[in-house]
Structures are given as structure tokens and as C-alpha cells.
Structure 1
């Protein structure tokens, strides 16, 4: 089983943000993180999940994603994303990221587990550290979609 631990952070919401991912498969551990100059916490929470899934090289291995984001976990586990998709994500925040997530979900079929953030869970704490560090780095990327649509998109 592949276990993916994720977290997102934003210094201000919106503000500089980042995501952190810790992936575990057998004895292998891989960490991912990036920072963006202007984004939101929810975007970074969802992008962490997407980046973790995009990093998977083999199909057919069960995947469990551990996230402290009720926004992400409930949207998937309660099936909200399918209703949003039917309505073409009208008035939905982060439509670009949800549209990027859906094909990954359909291909890899991950399961989600919600974990309480900042509660001493080692991998969640590591993801939080990676996300915050990325948000504070000197080389922040541009969250292109967010910056172009922030005045027109649904509230976070």
C-alpha cells in the first residue's frame, strides 16, 4: 500500500502558501513541497493531494491519503465533487484543481483518511513543516489560475 500524507499552508488567506507531501511505500519515503507567492490554504491542501498522486509511477497499488483538510476529504469521500462536476464547477472555488484531481481519482482510486492537524501525528507534522517552509522560501512560484481568477472565483 502507498500511504500519502499531505498538508497545505498559507500565510494569510490568500497570501504566500505551500504544500508538503510525505509518501511511503514499503521502505521508501519521498517528500515533495513547493511554495507559491499568492494562493489559499484550501488550494494548497488540494494541490498536495494532486502532487502526491501525480508522483505515483505504478498502477494497481492501493493508495490511502491522510489529510487534515476536511474540505478535501469530505469533498471526495462524501461525493460532493461529482455533483460539482455535473454543474461544471459553477461558482465553485478551485475548479481548476478539482478538474485536475478527478482523472487521478478515477485512475488510482485512492481512499482518504482525515487526521487532526497539529495533534502530534509525525507525518502530518512533517508535511506541515514542509508546507510552511515552502511558503516562506525565496523562490515562490506563481499560482497562475488563482492570480488570474481571484476576483472572479468563488470564496474560499
Structure 2
């Protein structure tokens, strides 16, 4: 099982944004700071999950994925497979599409204090 921590950050809302992805896999740690351009903070949070799924497809195909995010909006939207927000809908659809290639995909809400690595990477991505 691959543990994946994601976070999105924006400097302004919307503003310059970044995604942070921190992974624990097979006894190793992987860190990614991904610039996202101009987005809202919530869009950056969704995009961080999408970017992490793409990384997993490339490096860990067919693995069980356990995602963690401190964004209640992202976690609730993915768990319920529903949003009324027209901006979030295509992001949800992309998460569903990307996660379908894995045998199991779980996402769980965690507090910000348990997501510091991904937060630092997201903030670093804004500065890249």
C-alpha cells in the first residue's frame, strides 16, 4: 500500500498556486513540489490529488492507494462522488478517471498538523 499526502496552496485566492505530494512507498519517501499556475486554493487542493494520482500511475501502477488530505471539501467531494460546484465537477471527474486504474483508492481527511510535509512542498511549489 502506498501512503500519499497531498496539499494545495495559493498565494492569493485565486493566485499563484502549487501542489505538494509526499509519499511513503516500499520503505522510501518521495516528495514533489508542482507549480500549478493561477488557481483558487480549493482548485489547487483538487489538482494536488490529480497530480499525485498521475505520479502513482507512472511509478506505482496496480498498487493500493491510501490518500490523505487536509481539505474537507476535496475529501467529502471524492467520498460522496458529488458536487454542485461547477468548478469542482471536472476536477472530481478527473480524480475518478485517474483513480479507476488502481485496485483500491482510499481518501481520508487529516488535520493540517498531520500534513506538514505536503504543505511545505505546496508552498515551495508556489516559489518555483
Would you say the 8 A contact 2:18–2:125 is kept in 1?
yes
Q: How many residues align?
A: 125
Partners of 1:19 and 1:60 in 2: CA distance? 23
Point out the structure with max Rg over C-alpha. Answer: 1
SS at match of 1:107: coil
2:80 corresponds to which of 67, 78, 94: 78
Matched residue, 2:86? 92
Name stretches of at least 5 consecutive residues in structure 1 with no aligned partner: 85-90, 138-156
Contact between 2:62 and 2:101, CA under 8 Å: does it hold in 1?
Answer: no
Q: Can you list the C-alpha shifts for 1:10-39, whole angstroms capped at 9, x where unaligned?
A: 111101111100111121221112223411
2:113 corresponds to 1:111: no
Deviation at 1:4, TM superposition (A): 0.4
RMSD of aligned alpha carbons: 1.8
* Residue 21 of structure 1: aligned partner: 21
Aligned equivalents of 1:78 and 1:110: distance in 2? 14
Separation of aligned partners in 1, 2:48 and 2:91? 11
Kindly provide the CA deviation profile for residues 117-149 of structure 1, in whole angstroms up to 9, marking residues without a partner as x.
1x2x2xx11111111111123xxxxxxxxxxxx
Supply the distance in 2 between the matched residues of 1:94 and 1:46 (Cα, whole angstroms).
Answer: 8
1:136 paired residue number: 127
Q: 1:11 to 1:70 in 2, by over 3 A?
A: same
What is the alpha-carbon distance in structure 1 between the residues aligned to residue 60 and residue 121 of structure 2? 25
* TM-score, length-scaled by structure 2: 0.86
Q: Indicate whether 1:12 and 2:12 are aligned.
A: yes
Aligned match for 1:102, one of 76, 81, 96: 96
Q: Which has the larger strand fraction?
A: 2
Q: Equivalents in 1 of 2:42, 2:48: separation in Å?
A: 10
d(CA) in 2 for partners of 1:17, 1:11: 6
| TM-score under structure 1 length normalisation | 0.72
Note the C-alpha offset of 1:79: 2.6
